[in-house]
Homo-oligomer: A and B are copies of this chain.
């Protein structure tokens, strides 16, 4: 372990130091950032009201829109001179969100990731090929700083040049690959094409993240590269990749609880949910100097588990993200997530994993239709074959979400894509009726 004393602390000790850090953070934010001063004053809540960890629930949430409203530097708690690095999330809708770091924040980031890379079984001997992009987005930098801290060798190749990536994997004796699941799957395909003998590679671990994934995707990655793949979770607003990292048990991501306080809330009511309940992850920076973010609604859906992990660590584990609270739809009173549909579709061959969920309310009852693109071969097959596949899909989906759906098999590439090639997953027509 990187730091056993911290990573295996008793839960009481963790909660105790979290309370102290939280109190300090709230006080600093209230004193230094006019946005918080105003927001908390309006809500009639003050730093001295935080007497227990539970009292955090009295504080209003922070949303992406709040951060946008503070663009560019309105959320900084220190003089601009103390900020040594700035990142930003993409600004496709409205102003981007800016994230600022002091030297101490960058050091913490490195520390958190070094600890995580150690959980993945890596040390100073390892060669880490980092295919995440480096830029305004935090992608590549987290692992970069963490590898430096660990003393491993970082190969900052960033995304693209896939054939060269394969060559370097072989020639450098890369022991750890960092990628997004989709790029990893592509990299694996190219490596196969190039005739790579995966048994001869020196891979010991894969770190993957920055995208939603399914168990099937991890299986495929682990089988292809013949090594274990560990999930890395994070977001630019709080720091970047590394908020949570999986250990050898591969049974959820340990959140770095000395730096982040996690809550799970009901995305509709905002009420904090108990352990083991699925809801929206809310995160609070506990140590951040440059830009303390308090009760940030991540929109990511997960569950938290506080029991001691098989690896011996006591830091809370979050399950992999299974959806976004803004993607969730309630149909016939049941919460449905696109990820559930996706999971069911992955079990069926002869179809492409391109789909759209259409919700209507013809009368008083909700109806849900799943449009799925058939494969070229299925689509040119006879109708009986197609009926069989449709029934299979409907069965798997019902099994997954608990309600009956109508399935439509449509021509390959017939579901409209936006300019970025993405399909609008959910079309909810109920408000229009």
A158 close to chain B: CB less than 8 A: yes
A72 close to chain B: CB less than 8 A: yes
- Which residues on the B side are within 8 Å of A171 (C-beta)? 71-72
Contact status B148-A103, CB under 8 Å: yes
Work out how many copies of this chain go into the complex. 2
Nearest residue in B to A83 (C-beta to C-beta)?
Answer: B153
Contact status B124-A154, CB under 8 Å: no
CA distance A249 to B80 in the complex (A): 29
- Which residues on the B side are within 8 Å of A124 (C-beta)? 81
Contact status A134-B134, CB under 8 Å: yes
Contact status A156-B172, CB under 8 Å: no
A136 close to chain B: CB less than 8 A: yes
Contact status A85-B135, CB under 8 Å: no
Contact status B86-A148, CB under 8 Å: no
CA distance A106 to B46 in the complex (A): 45
Contact status B148-A91, CB under 8 Å: no
Q: Among B140, B141, B156, B172, which residue has its beta carbon within 8 angstroms of that of A85?
A: B156
Q: How far is the CB of A156 from chain B (nearest CB, A)?
A: 6
Count chain B CB atoms within 10 A of each CB in A72, A136, A148 and give the residue with the most: A136
A147 close to chain B: CB less than 8 A: yes
A417 close to chain B: CB less than 8 A: no
A84 close to chain B: CB less than 8 A: yes
Q: How far is the CB of A270 from chain B (nearest CB, A)?
A: 32
A125 close to chain B: CB less than 8 A: yes
- Which residues on the B side are within 8 Å of A420 (C-beta)? none
Residue-by-residue, is A134-162 near B (CB-CB < 8 Å gives 1, otherwise 0)? 11100011000001100111111110000
Q: How far is the CB of A140 from chain B (nearest CB, A)?
A: 7
Take A91-B164, A134-B140 as given contacts and tell me if A154 and B85 are in contact as well, using a CB distance cutoff of 8 Å: yes
CA distance A323 to B103 in the complex (A): 40
Q: How far is the CB of A268 from chain B (nearest CB, A)?
A: 35
- Which residues on the B side are within 8 Å of A81 (C-beta)? 124-125, 151
Q: Among B84, B125, B172, which residue has its beta carbon within 8 angstroms of that of A151?
A: B84
Contact status A84-B148, CB under 8 Å: yes
- Which residues on the B side are within 8 Å of A151 (C-beta)? 81, 84, 103
Q: How far is the CB of A393 from chain B (nearest CB, A)?
A: 40
CA distance A369 to B86 in the complex (A): 51
Q: How far is the CB of A213 from chain B (nearest CB, A)?
A: 25
CA distance A73 to B127 in the complex (A): 12
- Which residues on the B side are within 8 Å of A156 (C-beta)? 85, 87, 134-136, 141
- Which residues on the B side are within 8 Å of A71 (C-beta)? 171
Residue-by-residue, is A75-89 near B (CB-CB < 8 Å gives 1, otherwise 0)? 000001101111100
- Which residues on the B side are within 8 Å of A127 (C-beta)? 80, 86
Contact status A153-B86, CB under 8 Å: yes
- Which residues on the B side are within 8 Å of A80 (C-beta)? 125, 127, 153
Contact status A155-B106, CB under 8 Å: no
Take A81-B124, A81-B125, A148-B103 as given contacts and tell me if A157 and B134 are in contact as well, using a CB distance cutoff of 8 Å: no
Contacts of A91-119 to chain B: CB distance below 8 A: 91, 100, 103, 106
- Which residues on the B side are within 8 Å of A83 (C-beta)? 153
Nearest residue in B to A172 (C-beta to C-beta)?
Answer: B72
Contact status B86-A155, CB under 8 Å: yes
Nearest residue in B to A171 (C-beta to C-beta)?
Answer: B72
- Other A-B contacts than A134-B134, A136-B158, 9 sampled, CB-CB below 8 A, are A71-B171, A84-B151, A86-B153, A86-B155, A91-B164, A134-B135, A134-B140, A134-B156, A135-B157
- 12 A–B contact pairs at CB < 8 A? A71-B171, A72-B171, A73-B172, A80-B127, A84-B148, A85-B153, A85-B156, A134-B134, A134-B156, A135-B156, A135-B157, A136-B155
**For the complex of A and B, 3 pairs with smallest distance between CB atoms:** A134-B134, A135-B158, A136-B157
Q: Which A residues are within 8 Å of any B CB, using their own CB?
A: 71-73, 80-81, 83-87, 91, 100, 103, 106, 124-125, 127, 134-136, 140-141, 147-148, 151-158, 164, 171-172
